[in-house]
Each structure stands twice: as C-alpha cells, then as structure tokens.
Amino acid sequence: MNDIGRVALTLAQAVFTDSYAENRATGSFILLDETTNNTVAAGMVQ
C-alpha cells in the first residue's frame, strides 16, 4: 500500500492522453477494481 513504482500498461483499446506536464486533466489516471469499484492505483502519464 502507498508504494511508488514505474509500470507499463497494455490496454484493450486506444486511450488518448497528454503528458502530465502538458495537461494535468488528460495526463493523469486512476485504476479501479471492476468488482468493488475501489481505487487500486493512480498515476501520471510521462
């Protein structure tokens, strides 16, 4: 819990993003558990 890491995600379809430095709204994300709707991660696009 509360760890920091660098990950690469493989997605089922294209997602359009900007880098966090360019646009905070489209350069950040959260990941949700589909079963519980709990937030399991949050991140920034580099």
* pLDDT attached to residue 27: 96
Torsion on CA atoms 28, 33, 34, 36, rounded to nearest 10: -130
* pLDDT attached to residue 1: 75
The pLDDT of residue 2 is above 90: no
Q: What pTM value is reported for the model?
A: 0.73
Q: What DSSP string runs through the chain?
A: -----------SS------TTT-TTTSEEEEE-TTT--EEEEEE--
The model's pLDDT over 5-35, given as tens digits with 9 standing for 90+, comes to: 998 989 999 999 999 999 999 999 999 999 9
The pLDDT of residue 38 is above 90: yes
